[in-house]
Amino acid sequence: MTPSSDLRAEAEALARQLPNLNFKAEASEAAHIGSAGRRRAGTGEQFWQYRRYAQEDAADRVDWRRSAKGHELFVRETELETARTVLFWCDPHAGFNWKGDGDIRTKADEARLLMLTLGIMMSKDGERIGALGAGRTPSFGKRAVDRLAEDISNGAGRPFPPPPRTSATLVIASDFYDPIPEWQARLKPLAAKCPEGVLLAVAAPIEENFPFSGRVKLHRPGADTDRILGRAETMREDYQRKFAAQREALLALATQIGWRFVSHTTGKPSLHGAARLKLAVESFGARG
């Protein structure tokens, strides 16, 4: 597994190459009234400034306590607070934390890299980020990225996490090789709480191509089962059909619960995957 500092450095480099996140501001303002100040006047709880009364202001906006101190009328403005919480989860399965011959990094590392890239960009924009099921409250800023990098690497051995207490945007990274009903059962509680989410499916080139031939004993990491194929090349078409069917079923599942589905292969450039992941997350802003 790549050390998290290396992943962090690469993620920073990727984030620099991508354009800034672009949520549609109105949509997010309408959807969430969070705690993150936007450094401008707007709807929020925190005081922002007093300004002089203008003709178009309604009378009930006059802050009389301030106005009583002098001869002029003042209007009290609060700081605009819009924030989105994004929670990430990376599959800790041994089969996900695996790389084929010739791959640069494991599938899990690739997924973490993409998610960290997204997290870095979001925390810069003031969004709150965190790991799903890590127990720490999501936050923003530099510390938040450090925490995220720590938390999404520490998921090993834990069961699939329950939904968060408050609604958030979720990013779920796995290879999704478990049967679709299983995944449906896992995702349903999450989708019920959080209407926005992205499924990030990361695969290795070997898994896509099935480049075996002859007598082969196949073995799944993290499981005791193995299987001997007499002539592996005869199974290639079956396998590829199965693989495509799994991907289609996942897409259908994501659409059904209103989430997005992003697939990525470790052999392809990470920037490519990061850009598509970013696009998927941004699309939630556009929807509303």
Partner 1 sequence: MTVLGPFLFGAPLALFALLSLPVIWWVLRATPPAPKDVELPSLRLLEGVEPKEETPARTPWWVWLIRTLAAAAAIIGLSQPVYAPGARNEAPDAGGALLVVVDNGWPSAPRWSELVDAATATLDTGGRDAATHLLLTAPQTLNTDPAMRLSRADMGKRLSSLRPQSWSTDRTEALERLKDSGLKPARIFWASDGIEDEGGRAFAAALSSMAPLSVFAAPPKGPAAITGITSQTDSVSVTLRRVQPRGEERSFVSALTLDGSALATAEAVFNDGEREAVASFTIPAAALSRIARFTATGRQGAGTVWLWDSSNRSRRVGLVDAGSVAQPLLSDMHYVRKALEPFASITEGNIEALVSTSPDAIILTDIGQILPEDGKRLTEWVEEGGALIRFAGPHLAAQGDDLLPVALRRSSRALGGALAWDEPQAMAPFPANSPFDGLSIPPDVRIKQQVLAKPAPDLARKTWARLADGSPLVTADSRGSGTLILFHITAGPDWSDLPYSGTFEQMLRRSIAAGRGESVSDTEGAYSPQLVLDGYGRLAAAGANAAPLKAADFGTVKPSEAHPPGLYQGPSGTRALNAGAGARPSLIESWPLAARLLGDAEARSLRLAGPLLSLAAILLALDLFIALLVAGHLPGLGRRAKGAAALLLVCALGFSLTPPADAQSYRYQQMPDGSYRRVSTAPNVVPITGPGRATQKEIDAALVMRFGYVETGDRALNERTRAGLSGISSVLNLRTSVEPDEPDGLNLETDALELYPLIYFSTPEGAPPLSATAIAKLNAYLRSGGALVIDTRAGGTVGTDTDVAPLEGLLEGLDAPPLQPVPTNHVLARSFYLLDDFPGRFANRRLWIEKTGGPNAPRGDGVSRLFIGDADWISAWAVDGRGRDLYSVDGGPTQREMARRFGVNLVMYVLTGNYKDDQVHLPALLERLGNGDEDEADPRLPERLPEGGPQ
Q: Quick one: tokens of 274?
A: 């990061």
Minimum CB distance to partner 1, residue 251 (Å)? 16
**H helical segments located in 69-224:** 107-124, 142-153, 180-193, 205-209
CA distances (Å), origin 115, targets 19, 37, 154, 172, 228: 16, 24, 14, 9, 36
Minimum CB distance to partner 1, residue 181 (Å)? 13
CA distance 97 to 161: 18
**H helical segments located in 139-179:** 142-153
> Dihedrals φ, ψ of 93, to 5°?
-65, 145
Minimum CB distance to partner 1, residue 272 (Å)? 21
Nearer to partner 1, 102 or 288 (CB): 102
Work out the end-to-end distance of the chain between its first and last CA atoms, rounded to an integer number of angstroms.
39
Minimum CB distance to partner 1, residue 219 (Å)? 5
Q: Quick one: tokens of 23?
A: 């949520």
Count of Cβ atoms closer than 10 Å to residue 83 Cβ? 19
Minimum CB distance to partner 1, residue 228 (Å)? 6
Nearer to partner 1, 30 or 228 (CB): 228
Locus of tokens 């819009």: 82
Nearer to partner 1, 70 or 230 (CB): 230
Minimum CB distance to partner 1, residue 94 (Å)? 8
Minimum CB distance to partner 1, residue 220 (Å)? 4
Nearer to partner 1, 181 or 222 (CB): 222
Question: Going by DSSP bridges, is the β-strand pair 216-219/197-203 parallel, antiparallel, or unpaired?
Answer: unpaired
Count of Cβ atoms closer than 10 Å to residue 47 Cβ? 10
Q: Quick one: tokens of 30?
A: 């309408």
224: Cβ–Cβ under 8 A, 6 or more apart, which residues?
none
Nearer to partner 1, 41 or 229 (CB): 229
- Please give the residue ranges that form the binding site for partner 1 (CB under 8 A): 93-96, 98, 107, 175, 177-179, 203-204, 206-207, 212, 214-223, 225-231, 234-235, 238-239, 242-243, 246
Nearer to partner 1, 102 or 162 (CB): 102
Nearer to partner 1, 33 or 229 (CB): 229
